[in-house]
Structure 1
Amino acid sequence: MSDGPRSGMWPAFRRWRARRPFWGGLLLTLGGAEILLTEKASMKVVMHIGMQGLAGYLLPGLMLLCGLLTLFNPAQRLFYSLTGVLLSLGTWITSNLGGFFIGLLLGVTGSCLAFGWLPDQEPRVSRRRKRESAARARTERAEPA
């Protein structure tokens, strides 16, 4: 019994995810979204700087945009990750201490992951299989002697 069109969706998503800094872009996007959501907090601690809090909405909005662009345009990941980390650090001042630290940490972590992602690196599973097959070949060569 086949799932029909859904049977190929998960492998297709895994291939798409493997060709881009997925976790870095996702964390950067989530950090921007979290900071935007904390802008509406009903606390007296909420800080706004600029023309009626424009910077408080602009920086996390740009963080969100950098995260999405990292996901959908991985060739420019270095620019987006550097911009994302600067925007994340800027939210410390402009947006409720960076979304009460959570959004700031998500943004910085995601930007660092996106910056460190290497497109030419083969997936871990295949590297592990190559090591295991090489070890198996060595033991097979050693046994007949």
Structure 2
Amino acid sequence: MTDRSPQGMRPAFRRWRARRPFWGGLLFALGGAEVLLTMKASMKVVMHVGMQGLAGYLLPIVMLLCGLLTLFSPAQRIFYSLIGVMASLGTWLTSNLGGFFVGLLLGIVGSCLTFGWLPDQKPRVSRRQRRRLREQEAARATAPALAEGTGEPV
């Protein structure tokens, strides 16, 4: 039986998140969703109608899919980020000025974070973890000197 407690799920989620460009993909998907939702705004709110054809709905869907594919298939992150930044810039013309600039900016920032993510980087270590590691190393360094029997460091 697997451990489904919050204590067991949180480290598993952190490990999953560390192996992919999580924040880039999330911002990217949120940008696509925001642009798609502003396409459904009332005509009083819409500033720029743009091409009301297929492109107005296609580009935000491409942004949303690229963000999700980045999260679940990080090996192709560069391709998804390049397609996504072009789709984000295309929403400027087709989808209410890129979802009133919010979706456009979320898409561009997310695709830049995705493009710049490197999979072979060491995971970041918090201050608390660094302090704990230093204390453990100091304890290991003093332990052999005390174990010689005199009780005093050499």
TM-score after normalising by structure 2? 0.78
Structure 2 counterpart of 1:37, which letter? L
Three-state SS of the structure 1 residue aligned to 2:125 is helix
- Structure 2 regions of 5+ residues with no counterpart? 142-152
Contact 1:39 1:46 in 2 (8 A): no
Structure 1 counterpart of 2:64, which letter? L
**Alignment partner for residue 49 of structure 2, among 47, 53, 58?**
47
Structure 2 counterpart of 1:47, which letter? V
Three-state SS of the structure 2 residue aligned to 1:113 is helix
State the number of aligned residues.
134
State the 4+ residue runs in structure 1 displaced beyond 6 angstroms: none
Which stretch of structure 1 is more off in the superposition, 7-16 or 19-28? 7-16
Alignment RMSD: 2.5
| Residue in 1 that maps onto 2:130 | 129
Structure 1 counterpart of 2:10, which letter? W
Identity %: 73
| Residue in 1 that maps onto 2:116 | 116
1:38 maps onto 2:38 in alignment: yes
TM-score after normalising by structure 1? 0.82
1:15-49 CA-to-partner distances (Å, cap 9, x unmatched) read: 00000000000000000000000001112524131
| Residue in 2 that maps onto 1:83 | 83
Flag the structure with higher helix content: 1
1:60 maps onto 2:57 in alignment: no
- Structure 1 regions of 5+ residues with no counterpart? none
